[in-house]
Amino acid sequence: MFTSVLMIEQPLSATDVDFVTTLHDDDMSFVVLMQPRGAEDRLLRAIDDVALGELERAVHEADEPEGEQAVRPAALALEHSLRSLRDAGCEAVGQLIEGHPLDLLRSVVEQTHADEVIVLTAPHLVEEFFHRDWASRARHKVGVPVLKLYAHNDEEDYALGDVQEQ
C-alpha cells in the first residue's frame, strides 16, 4: 500500500479527492494533517487574496475564526476530508496540527514510513515567492518526495456552515 501524508488547510473538495486518489496505481493510504487558521496568518492571507484578485475575500479575512475558535471548524473539515477519502476507497486517518506543522510532519512521516508528502493548499504567493511555504520547507526536512498541489474550491461540494449545523 502506498502511504501519503496529506497536509491541508481547508476541507478536500470532490476534485481534490479525485486527484489525490488517482495519483498512483497502488492502493492508497492517507494520513491527513489539518492546520486550523491562525491570527498570525491573517495578513498573508489578505495579501494573497488581493494578489489573486479576490478583494471581497480579503475584506472579510478578519471575520474568519482563528485560534481556539478555529479548532472546531478545522475538526469538522478534517472529518469531512477523511470521510471523502474513505468513500473513494482509501484508508484515511488524520489529526489537527497543534504545534509547528513541519515538526509534526517529520514525525508522522517517520512513524508511518510514508512514501510521499502532498501539500494541498490554496496559493500562498508571498510565502511561495520566499520559499517559506510548507512544501518548500518540508523538502528539506522529511526525506521523502514532496508534491505541492493547489486545492480546488468546488462551490457545491462543501460549505463549512452546513456541516457546523449538523
At residue 165, the pLDDT reads 33
At residue 42, the pLDDT reads 54
The x, y and z cell numbers of residue 87, run together, are 468513500
At residue 37, the pLDDT reads 67
Q: Is-above-0.85 flag for pTM?
A: no
Evaluate the CA torsion angle 22, 76, 162, 67 in order and state its sign.
Answer: negative
At residue 160, the pLDDT reads 41
At residue 35, the pLDDT reads 85
Cell numbers 478536500 correspond to: 12
Instruction: Name residues of the chain where pLDDT drops below 50.
Output: 39-40, 155-166
Pairing of strands 2-8, 116-121: parallel
Closest CA to 120 of 30, 27, 28: 30
Q: Which residues contact 85 (CB under 8 A, 6 or more apart)?
A: 12, 17, 20, 21, 30, 32, 92
